[in-house]
Amino acid sequence: MNTETFPNVTGKTFQLAPASTLTGSVQVPGDKSMSHRSIMFGAIATGVTEVSGFLEGEDSLHTLDAFKSMGVKIERGGPGEVTLYGQGVAALKPASEAIYLGNSGTGMRLLTGLLAGMDIPATLTGDASLTGRPMRRIVDPLSQMGAKIGTGEGGTPPLVIAKSGTLSAIEYVCPLASAQVKSAILLAGLHASGTTTVHEPAITRDHTERMLRGFGVDVTVNGLTASIVGGQHLTATSLTVPGDISSSAFFLVGASMTPGSKLTLTGVGMNPSRTGVIDILRLMGADIAIENQRITGGEPVADLQVTGSKLKGIAVPEELVSLAIDEFPAIFVAAASAEGQTIVTGAEELRVKETDRIQVMADGLRALGADITDTPDGARITGGRLSGGTADSCGDHRTAMSFAMASLISDGPITVLDCDNVNTSFPGFAQIAKRSGLNIQELPASN
Give the active site residues. Answer: 326
Q: State the Cα–Cα distance between residues 331 and 337, nearest whole angstrom.
A: 10
CA-nearest of 295, 294, 297, 301 to 238 is 297
Q: Any idea what DSSP says for residue 445?
A: P
C-alpha neighbours within 13 Å on the C-beta side of residue 34 = 33
Helical H segments across 299-388, by residue range:
328-337, 357-367
Please give the backbone phi and psi of residue 116, each rounded to the nearest 5 degrees, phi first.
-60, -40
Q: Residue 197 CB: number of other CB atoms within 10 A?
A: 19
Nearest partner of 186 among 222, 227, 157, judged by Cα: 227
CB 311 within 8 A of CB 339: yes
Name beta bridge partners: 171. 197
Give me the amino acid identity at 309.
Answer: S
- Rounded Cα distance, 314 and 336, in Å: 12
Q: Do 406 and 336 form a contact (C-beta atoms < 8 A)?
A: yes
Q: How many CA atoms lie within 13 A of 116 on its CB side?
A: 33
Q: How far is CA 65 from the centre of its chain?
A: 19
Distance from C-alpha of 311 to C-alpha of 313, rounded to nearest angstrom: 7
Q: Are 342 and 333 in contact (CB under 8 A)?
A: no
The number of residues in the chain equals: 447
Cα angle, residue 60 at apex, residues 294 and 140 outer, rounded to 5° = 105
